Structure 1
Amino acid sequence: MKKQTWFLIAGYTILLSLSIVVCFYLFVRNSGADTSMLPETLFFTPQNGQIVLDGSITSTELHDYFRSAFFRYLPLLITAVCMLVLLSSCSLLLGIRALERRHNRIIASDLQDLSEDEPEYIRETDLKAEYQSIHARLSAYEKDQQRLHSFIAHEQKNLIMLIKARLNETSDPLLIRDIEKLAKSVDDILTISSHRDASREIVDLAMIAAQECDAYQSVYPDLTFQFDEDSTYEILGKEQWLRRAVDNLLDNAVKYGGGNPVEVTLEQQHGSVLLHVRDHGMGMSEDEAELIFEHGYQIRKLNKDGYGIGLSLVQHVCTLCSGFVRVNSIKGQGNEFILAFPSA
């Protein structure tokens, strides 16, 4: 950046100087005095036909005449030089701004791509060393936070499993339900704290969806699951992530489906695995459909714990599995959530 700026300024100075020299050359070349305007009494013509200056003309008279001839072209010279300076200065300013924009794009690209793992692919900038230091500290903080979340969640889950093992069939059903809900919330914490760089494995989405649907059909019989048994629905991810995503979608469909049928469909299209979860409930407006995947958003009229943390978790799971989620909703006719993943 510094070298290019200095080269630009040097080029500007050289071109401007040459332009001014050319202007003066043209001025001198075309500003000769017109002797035809001199009074005839100043000259006489000898016998040989040559015009000779009368010796009675003083130097002051000649100086005054040629000075007036000089100043006749001087305004044009000043105007030309001023226009050259103005135009070249504007060009210099535009060039410097273009260099600054290019430099800013390089910095932004470096800040986006810079990492300790690939330092040889990064251009040298003034920010490189400082950014690497900040990146290392933030990465360490992030890893510590992930380890803390995982440790707390695993400890809680082990304790929940121990409590469930001590319960029996005569225990309070509300207590059992609350423990199940607590176990799911711990799974949500583990899923949300997962990072996109986490290790993944090949999982069968059809098996996960079938097991989750079977679990919900025991309490909601009007739920159907359709898929092509001859097709393969393997994707890259983790079983725990996908179970939490499917469970949240089914839970929302049962809660807000108004007792109407819920259809779950699995299909393959163009190298992708698509999971459809459709209910026939109250649906949502377009404004609500654009906000439901934001963390903590909740449709206040429903006054229930749904379409909030659960759907932001679903979107996070899709990101972890290199997929995406979208919703098709019609007010008063229901919702259709579509999860798309690259086929493994």
Structure 2
Amino acid sequence: MARKRGRGMAACWYGIARTATVDRAAAWAEIDDGGTVKIVTGVTEIGEGILTVLAQIAAQEIGVKPDDVVIGDNDTARAPEAAHAGATRQTYMIGNVVAIASREARGRLVDVMAKTWDVAPETIRTANGEVWAENTNHRMPMAKAVEHCKGRGVVPVGSASFGTDTTGLAPTDGAGRPWQAYVFGCQVAEVEVDTVTGEVQVLGVWAAHDVGRAVNPKGVEGQIEGGIVQALGQGLMEDYQLKDGRTTTPGFAKYILPTSLDVPRVNSFIVEDPDPIGPLGVKGIGEPAMVPTIPAMMNAIYDAVGVRIQDLPATPEKVLMALREKERRDAERRAAAQAAE
């Protein structure tokens, strides 16, 4: 059995949010009795962790703990529209709009407290559920500050809308601005190829991705790892076949998915290059995480055994056929060189 190792690299760029059309999201934020915060927006949680991210953003902007933030009903009959969960837009679009709404709610509370304490609004600080004025003895819990505001007829509530400024592509020269924000990434994959069976094992992936600003670094790493595992399945295993309009791979017996035993060691490197337009500097990492993985793996296979797989997935059968074809061509070239001598 002969096993050969190789490494390959690939880079990518990816446009955030909807393509060549205006994308928009809206939200309400309120500092409630008891010093808790309620965020209402039509966000859809499909496992990407957006509720955690929004709680972190609201907590940071208003000055409470993430546990004190409640994400309210997302039924768009009662909540502001936030659009779909896709296009790597959730953190960028909804995170930014929640930040703006939270700042407005905090601003209402700060204005009242500044007048009460006779200090400049910019000296008011809020953090960990407390409100205080710098260089003074004025300090009180957030719950007490909210009660104080409402006693003066002010409800600390905010609303906001955040949208993109994009254009379609001109049919003449392709000029345009189809996305407002872009992310970039680069991955290196190391593989081991069994030249007898054609089996490819991914040993490790090194992934560096620009995410703008990492609200939740562990969540970012999870997205990168999940994207790489998805790409591993698409690139090496998942072979969906049709014959006469019907699938011949109706079950997981033939449609192979990666398991925990197939997952390589993933080394994530988070690059923070803040977005210059949004108030938070965030971008996204949902779909971009898997974009460079497959070309990096295919380049690694080529580096290991000298064959270029261009028809996905790179199953053992395809790799073995490519190796046999390479051997045949090499033999023909050697024979031609000997004949020429």
Q: So what's the TM-score if we normalise by structure 1?
A: 0.19
* Higher share of residues assigned helix: 1
Q: So what's the TM-score if we normalise by structure 2?
A: 0.20
Q: Which has the larger radius of gyration?
A: 1
Higher relative contact order (CA 8 A, sep 6+): 2
* Higher share of residues assigned strand: 2
